[in-house]
Amino acid sequence: DTAVSQTPKYLVTQMGNDKSIKCEQNLGHDTMYWYKQDSKKFLKIMFSYNNKELIINETVPNRFSPKSPDKAHLNLHINSLELGDSAVYFCASSQVGAGGSQETQYFGPGTRLLVL
Amino acid sequence: AQSVSQHNHHVILSEAASLELGCNYSYGGTVNLFWYVQYPGQHLQLLLKYFSGDPLVKGIKGFEAEFIKSKFSFNLRKPSVQWSDTAEYFCAVTTKGPPGTYKYIFGTGTRLKVLA
């Protein structure tokens, strides 16, 4: 069984469209993340949710809106897509360990977004 | 602000050569340390981690890393690389604290290419 799954795997769309990427984890973790990886492989955290609450919201355009309906899901909705949004988006999850630190992150397979 | 530096952005080695990838972090408190690997076209996977105890940590596929607290470093090593080690390597640090205060910080990655 896939621990962290994302859909779709590939997404090709026109500028100006609105799209969503879904993420689900079956690990029972309490924290989920969205990352953006650009063409240079830089990995940038976008959002982090702990028990459905937003805890990290880095400098990301407000066209990006995460939604966490429950602990196991963290979806990413993107409005008015722009060329610069083309990237690979990774979802991840982890569990808070003893002492309040985050433990190993488990990553989804990624969603390759291409905006034309 | 906390940060993670990986000074080697691109490394090219021949098979059987020894590998050492540098990772330095800036944070004065207690940290957990990770190395993740991303094989071409795949998602990030945990290679090894350090939480406490023996500062020399052994991971999968013959990799090891040494935590040197005085140098704020967590360098990754492998005595003899293989072509299949060609990948992107990310160092990561998590800081401890209540939810909302801890951070999960990734370095910019090191691209390793191993020539057959």
- Distance of residue A107 Cα from the nearest chain B Cα, in angstroms: 6
Q: How far is CA B98 from the centre of its chain?
A: 25
The answer to whether the CB of B73 falls within 8 A of the CB of B24 is: yes
* B100, pLDDT greater than 60: no
Q: Is B34 on the interface with A (CB under 8 A)?
A: yes
pLDDT in tens, chain A (116 residues): 669 999 999 999 999 999 999 999 999 998 899 999 988 888 888 888 887 777 776 778 889 999 999 989 999 999 999 999 999 999 999 887 665 566 788 999 999 999 99
Q: Which has more pLDDT, B2 or B105?
A: B105
Query: How far apart are the C-alpha atoms of B91 and B101, rounded to whole Å?
Result: 20
Q: Find the chain A residues whose C-beta atoms sit closer than 8 A to any C-beta of B.
A: 33, 41-43, 45, 48, 50, 55-56, 90, 92, 94, 96-97, 99-110
Radius of gyration of chain A (CA): 14
B102 touches chain A (CB under 8 A): yes
The whole-number pLDDT of residue B102 equals: 61
Q: How far is CA B54 from CA A67, B25, B62, B64, B76, in A?
A: 40, 19, 17, 12, 15
Question: Which 3 state secondary structure label does DSSP give B84?
Answer: helix
Which pLDDT belongs to residue B28? Answer: 76
Nearest CB to B109; choose among A43, A102, A104: A43
Split at pLDDT 50, 70, 90, the class of B101 is: low
pLDDT at position A102, please?
A: 65
| Residues A105, A27 contacting (CB under 8 angstroms) | no
* Beta strand ranges found along B3-115 (DSSP E): 3-5, 10-14, 19-21, 24-26, 31-38, 44-50, 56-58, 64-68, 73-78, 87-95, 104-106, 110-115
Question: For residue range B68-98, what is the model confidence (pLDDT) as tens digits?
Answer: 999 999 999 999 999 999 999 999 988 766 6
